[in-house]
Amino acid sequence: MINYQPKVSVIVPCYNVEQYLPKCIDSILAQTYHNLEVWLVDDGSPDRCGEICDEYAQKDNRIKVIHKKNGGLSDARNVAIDVAKGEYITFVDSDDFIACDYVETLYNLVEKYQCKVGVAWLRIFHEGCEAGINQPPYIEKVFDRIEGIEKMFYQELFDTAAWGKIYHRSLFKTGIRYPFGLIYEDLPTTYLLFLQADKIAFCNRVIYNYLLRANSIEGQPFKANKLDSALKILDMIQGHANELKPIGKAVRCRLLSFCLHILLEMPAEYPDKRKQVLIDYVKRNRWKVLTDARARKKARVGALISYLGLNTARRILNQVKERNK
């Protein structure tokens, strides 16, 4: 039972998700933790998202609505971070939904271990395939910031996603914001927030529900902005090589997986010569990832099939996707 409840700001960027938004907002308003302010950011959405946000704001005074010109996911989050009043901040994507004890679970973690970041588990489900949740035997762990980043880059217990985590607002007062205009914006941001914290608390309770839908960013055909983002992110993370040197193997593993992900999404004859930067990174690091015992199986398989050439690797990946449909 929580006695004192500091205010928690829940930030929800909204764009073109009118079909999913009510379920998302309802799950936030159903929280067992009540001292919330909910920032619904209508990022210039062309559908009814803005109207839906306003309708909910009339029903619950904890809801604040921002209507803005479309600037992308990073910009929508940043606008809300700048005005949020909560002692803690957490993010929810507008096509996802959360368990009723999402905020309470994360807050209890950071309060119990007196740290500034709390992380929990999620489940991924496909549209129309929402099965029940089987909670594993409960565990809690605490990591120092470097160990936490290492776990995250190895993708051992959690990943770099903005959601499924709670942050003390002081971490953002250092000026950290999500990079404007980039896709995969949390990859070069979450570890910076971790670097500002002394400890990271984790529990394996499944409290976040992530919808993998066909018309999401990941499900869309390859566009030039994905390569643009990948190149900038690679440069940004490599620019912090000194701070990340103790966990260089984990960083290498995550970046190789990221580069391969982008390359394998590209059409076979994609003409942009800048893709060679990603290809070179893979070639330089694949053997080290392949022989890294801590690298997850998916990363090592990716490193292995990269030796067959991108076209062959792409065919193998497509065959696996077809088989799993």
Tens-place pLDDT, residues 115-124: 999 999 988 8
Give the pLDDT of residue 4: 80
Asked if residue 171 and residue 35 are part of one domain, the reply reads yes
Which candidate, 184, 210, 218, places its Cα nearest to that of 96? 210
- Token pair listed for 321: 């996707």
Q: How many CA atoms lie within 13 A of 156 on its CB side?
A: 17
Residues 6+ apart with CB under 8 A from 272: 224, 227
Asked if residue 253 and residue 193 are part of one domain, the reply reads no
End-to-end CA distance of the chain: 44
Average pLDDT over residues 11-37: 97
Average pLDDT over residues 185-211: 96
Question: Phi-psi category of 316—alpha, beta or left, where left has phi over 0 and alpha has psi -120 to 50?
Answer: alpha
Produce one character per residue of 150-178: b if its CB has 16 or more CB atoms within 10 Å, e if not.
bbbbbbebbbbbbbbbbbbbebbeeebbb
Alpha-carbon distance 37 to 29, whole Å?
10
Tens-place pLDDT, residues 139-164: 999 999 999 999 999 999 999 999 99
Residues 6+ apart with CB under 8 A from 7: 35, 36, 37, 85, 86, 87, 88
Asked if residue 189 and residue 230 are part of one domain, the reply reads no
Asked if residue 148 and residue 32 are part of one domain, the reply reads yes
Asked if residue 68 and residue 128 are part of one domain, the reply reads yes
Give the pLDDT of residue 259: 97
Q: Of 212, 244, 259, which marks where a domain is finished?
A: 212
Range of the domain at 275: 224-324
Q: Of 212, 239, 267, which marks where a domain is finished?
A: 212
pLDDT tier, 269 (very low <50, low <70, confident <90, very high otherwise): confident
Asked if residue 234 and residue 265 are part of one domain, the reply reads yes
φ, ψ (nearest 5 deg) of residue 23: -60, -40
Asked if residue 244 and residue 102 are part of one domain, the reply reads no
Asked if residue 173 and residue 54 are part of one domain, the reply reads yes
Tens-place pLDDT, residues 218-249: 656 788 899 999 999 999 999 999 999 999 99
Q: How many domains does the chain have?
A: 2
pTM above 0.75, yes or no: yes
Asked if residue 232 and residue 172 are part of one domain, the reply reads no
Asked if residue 180 and residue 90 are part of one domain, the reply reads yes
The answer to whether residue 217 is domain-embedded is no
Asked if residue 205 and residue 267 are part of one domain, the reply reads no
SS3 at position 245: helix
Asked if residue 164 and residue 43 are part of one domain, the reply reads yes
The answer to whether residue 289 is domain-embedded is yes
pLDDT above 80 for 130 = no
pLDDT above 70 for 254 = yes
Alpha-carbon distance 28 to 208, whole Å?
11
